[in-house]
Structure 1
Amino acid sequence: MDLRDMPTLAGSAGRPPAPRRPRRTLAYVALAVTASLLLAGGVAMAVRPRQPHPALAAPATDLGRRIPLGTGFDSPWLVVQTAGCGYSNYAGGRRHPDRQTCRMILIVGNPGQAPLRLAEPFAELVDDRGESHRAVSDVPGPMPVVQPGERLVYTTVKYGMRKERRPARLEGRLVAGGPITRVML
């Protein structure tokens, strides 16, 4: 058998193979699909109403959050640990059936170098209808003093209000000579 009689691959009989063209059409199709998806996503984002991200929204309450009472690094701080209402309200030895007592349990820290006295009168409690209520003290005498480097744990401040009302915020001075502060409950 002669070499000339042997079968050959198509296109190799005396001619060089045809140059391969890159398959650009597949790349163009993939690029067009990607661009249209990005465009459709951008239009959908622009049309939809803006809603704040839950993690970025302002907290609904300041309970359990450390609230600075100054601007310095070693300024005092306060935490409203709980705000409980629904307790019986007494005045003059009599129970008032249409009133309730609300108790705010506070933790105050003083990392500074000067003693810290809680404000007298303490911040007012504002209810859900905007009415203010003054703090009622069961302990005679001045409010406690927090010495430098100490923490005053479980100071309770009481407020009296109508039974159908709910506490909304504490507003006023929390420490003597301190800034007016608003604590959302």
Structure 2
Amino acid sequence: MPAPSAAFKKAVQRLSEKEKEAIILKAVRRDAELYDLLSYELEETSLEEVYDRSTDTIHALMINASGRTLSKALAKSLRKAAKEIARFKRITKDPKLEVDLHLYLLHLIFDNYTGQFDSYYKVFYTSTARLLLRTMQLIRKNLHEDYHMEYKDQLDDFLEQIRSRNKPLPVELPREFVVE
């Protein structure tokens, strides 16, 4: 996305309030994410509502995954769920709830679909391992050390479940989540 030039900024400043309103409403009708962003910024929608909407979307994506090969369908749904989490982050910029969405997705996977890890198609297994690694990196990078202890048991359980498979790991995963 290009950065607005100085001339563009001046042109926007010269617009009347009515013209600005018309342009914003026109843009919002075209872009659902922009609508959600403005709705959140203008406090029309609360943080909890945005979070709940994202969890519902992720849940629907994963539970309704179907296709000729369930493992491939789950991998596709996992990619879409990761995009939903990225969308949530762009709207709210809340690192704690972003991590919570990652953990929600991991719980859905490990509670319902661990049997698909043994599928001939390893893309779902690989994607899940990468999601787990990414979640651990987000916790270390974006959250205070006090939160690390809160997530340790969950992450250690996920690591144990994924390491218990007789498949080679696609990425280097630690044995346990180390709390500093």
TM class, shorter-chain normalised? under 0.3
Give TM-score, length-normalised by structure 2.
Answer: 0.22
Give 1 or 2 for the bigger CA radius of gyration.
1
* Higher share in strand: 1
* Higher share in helix: 2
